[in-house]
Amino acid sequence: MAAYLLRRLLHAVIVIWGAATLVFAILNFAPGDPAVNLVGENATEEQFALVRHSLGLDLPMYERYLRYLGNLLSGDLGTSWFVGQPTLDMLAERLPDTIELTLVAALIFAPLAVLLGVISAVWRRTPLDYGSSFVALFGVSTPNFWLGVMLILLFAVELRWLPSMGRGPMITDAVAALFTGDTAPLIDWARHIVLPAATLGTFLMALVTRLTRTDILENLRRPYVKVARAKGMSRGGVILHHVLPNSLISVVTFVGLEVGSLLGGAVVTETIFAWPGMGRLMVESIERRDYPVIQAGVLLVSFIFVFVNLLVDLVYLWLDPRIRLK
Amino acid sequence: MSDTPAMTTPAPRQARPNWVAALLRELRGNLMAQFALLVVAALLAMVLFAPWIAPHHPDTFALIDRNKPPAFLAGGSWTYPLGTDTHGRDVLSRIIFGARVSLGTATAGVAIAVTVGVTLGLVAGFFGGLWDTLIMRFVDVLLSIPIILMALLVIAILGPKIENIILVMGFTGWIWHARIVRGNALRIREEQFVLAARSCGTRPLAIMWRHVLPNLLAPVLVTASMQIGYMVILESGLSFFGITGTTLSWGWDIAFGRRYLASAWWVATFPGLAIFLTVLAFNLVGDLLRDLVDPHGRSGLT
């Protein structure tokens, strides 16, 4: 087991190193000199050289790469060219909002999707099945930014039930207020997060619904189902106690692998709903060509992806006796 | 997209003449698949004949006819079936012309993705060893970076041009095909006919080309069809940010119409509907292809 753990950790480190190298390569082998952006077109030759020197752009490539890796190892992800703040601080300030949005989306829509998938599989080829399949197909075929715009049109512009942008109070404050008997902040929080979470979660819901349905149908053909049925267990009991736990393993793995696309979706969703998260910071940085922030953001997302999937694997390690006892 | 017409035309004599029959059999009673093929045909017509189909020029400002609602609403007219935007441009014509950009970009991107992915997947699966490790670790790296972020990063550097969008699609999308091809190549490598070919002294490249590749065609086609849908969404997402170097695409229209939701909801709504139908159709075509080539597989269950 220790060997397995070690191999898994090594793999995670390799992937993150690979992502860091890839981002470095894209930024440094691309045509054009980033210093031009900084000093402007009308700068003198000296100013230009000075900026190049201060950014380390006059060093040979391999030295820049080694420096970059060294800085990464010491937790230095560079300084924003535009704001002059360390990129890590800027990202850390915005990250909680993105995680909050992503978590709420996943925690509402993944369980809902499992439910739809189970319904679909149990009542196969009934209107219930076709209904959930349609929801799933709708979800994979809809661009989430359009879905967001349509939700705003319906719930904010036409019905005027929900706000179209911004976030409510911090969730921690809202929960704290709840203890003093004040529910208003929590309701305000929920009213702000429901549309962005729906925009972000629909795609995930669609994929998980399909996955759950196929997985349950596949499991139902396994011998253990027959044995359980032969012993007198009801069909519902078999699904609830034997099939579903097995399918949940696939679902959790899958959601882990979709963390990347959730974070990618957050970039778009945050832009539409003016949600003050990391995604919006990325878009702003791209608009003003703030390379260090973009670079650090991409790395952070890659790191979160690898970390979450490592976590998923560790949970298995703990759940699955076949791995645990080896 | 070019796969569909090839499948409906009669196949060459020796190359599996039962394909057409199988397709027709599969289509009969399958309303969803019929609908999907119809949408794909309509899209193809839009791409090829946009100037002749579209009632107006997509960029003509008709300031008198600004913010006209669609024909089925009060105040609308059939001159502008789906209404006009705030500059008086015809929404329908913009959708028809936008299909060229959205679908063209996606198809070109997928073509690169398939070429790169199949090649690298074959190398990884067939040669194994160091090649396999290197390629699959690279796949893991790309998997850890969301495509949209990668696209934003690359376009921020290379500049907002359609060519760059296609490039990004190709060089991020190949991992879909590489993983599938590798898995299949690993399996096919051990099949009797490959062993037989090898024992006859056939060179590895020839084996790959003649024996392994034809067996991979089906799964790659299925994935490619679904990927076109995915790339249409990606392209529209990028043009939503206004970074595709064109102002005539479905995503751009949604981004533009978003500002006028309260006064002219149709500007953002209909291009989105076009994307939805397109992606839905390509997903369904993917399902159809999968059922055709693998009737007893996973899909046989459903």
pLDDT band (50, 70, 90) for residue B17: low
Summarize the confidence of residues A80-101 as an average pLDDT: 89
Q: How far is A104 from chain B (nearest CA, A)?
A: 19
The reported pLDDT for the residue numbered A325 is: 59
Summarize the confidence of residues B61-88 as an average pLDDT: 74
Asked if residue B283 lies in contact with residue B231, where contact means CB atoms within 8 angstroms, the answer is: no
Summarize the confidence of residues B96-125 as an average pLDDT: 92
The reported pLDDT for the residue numbered A32 is: 65
Residue A294 CA to residue A285 CA, distance in Å, equals 6
Is residue B294 predicted with pLDDT exceeding 80?
no
- Distance between terminal CA atoms of chain B? 25
Q: Locate A106 and state its tokens.
A: 């996943």
Residue B219 CA to residue B184 CA, distance in Å, equals 9
Q: What is the pLDDT of residues B270-283, one digit of tens each?
A: 988 999 999 999 98
Residue of higher predicted confidence among B43 and B82: B43
Q: How far is A44 from chain B (nearest CA, A)?
A: 23
Asked if residue B151 lies in contact with residue B213, where contact means CB atoms within 8 angstroms, the answer is: no
Cβ contact, residue pair A153, B148, below 8 Å: no
pLDDT band (50, 70, 90) for residue B301: very low
Task: Judge whether A257 is closer than 8 Å to chain B, CB to CB.
Answer: yes
DSSP A254-303: HHHHTHHHHHHHHHHHHHHHT--SHHHHHHHHHHTT-HHHHHHHHHHHHH
Asked if residue B152 lies in contact with residue A282, where contact means CB atoms within 8 angstroms, the answer is: yes
The reported pLDDT for the residue numbered B3 is: 43
The DSSP 8-state label assigned to residue B68 in this structure reads P
In angstroms, what CA-CA distances link A264 with A140, B59, B252? 15, 32, 19
pLDDT band (50, 70, 90) for residue B116: very high
Closest partner residue to B301 (CB to CB) among A15, A149, A217 is A217
Cβ contact, residue pair B148, A268, below 8 Å: yes
Beta strands in chain B (DSSP E): none
Cβ contact, residue pair B276, A141, below 8 Å: yes
Cβ contact, residue pair B146, A263, below 8 Å: yes
The reported pLDDT for the residue numbered A324 is: 61
Query: Tokens 């759940």 belong to which residue?
Result: A319
Q: What is the pLDDT of residues A278-316, one digit of tens each?
A: 988 988 887 777 888 888 898 899 999 999 988 888 887
Is residue B161 predicted with pLDDT exceeding 50?
yes
Closest partner residue to A141 (CB to CB) among B240, B279, B298 is B279
Task: Judge whether A138 is closer than 8 Å to chain B, CB to CB.
Answer: yes
Cβ contact, residue pair A214, B298, below 8 Å: yes
Residue of higher predicted confidence among A175 and B64: A175
Task: Judge whether A282 is closer than 8 Å to chain B, CB to CB.
Answer: yes
Q: How far is B84 from chain A (nearest CA, A)?
A: 18
The reported pLDDT for the residue numbered B170 is: 94
The reported pLDDT for the residue numbered B16 is: 52
Is residue B302 predicted with pLDDT exceeding 50?
no
Mean of pLDDT over chain B? 81
Mutate to test the interface with A, among B142, B145, B154 (most CBs of A within 10 A): B145
Residues with Cβ < 8 Å from A224, sequence gap 6 or more?
Answer: A242
Closest partner residue to B141 (CB to CB) among A22, A263, A295 is A22
Q: What is the pLDDT of residues A229-266, one digit of tens each?
A: 888 888 888 888 888 888 888 888 888 888 888 888 89
Cβ contact, residue pair A30, B145, below 8 Å: no
Cβ contact, residue pair B154, A26, below 8 Å: yes
Strand-pairing partners, residue A79, are A86
Residue in A closest to B144 by C-alpha: A302
The verdict on pTM exceeding 0.80 is yes
Q: How far is B49 from chain A (nearest CA, A)?
A: 25
Q: How far is A277 from chain B (nearest CA, A)?
A: 14
- What's the per-residue H, E or C state across B7-35? HHCCCCCCCCCHHHHHHHHHHCCCHHHHH
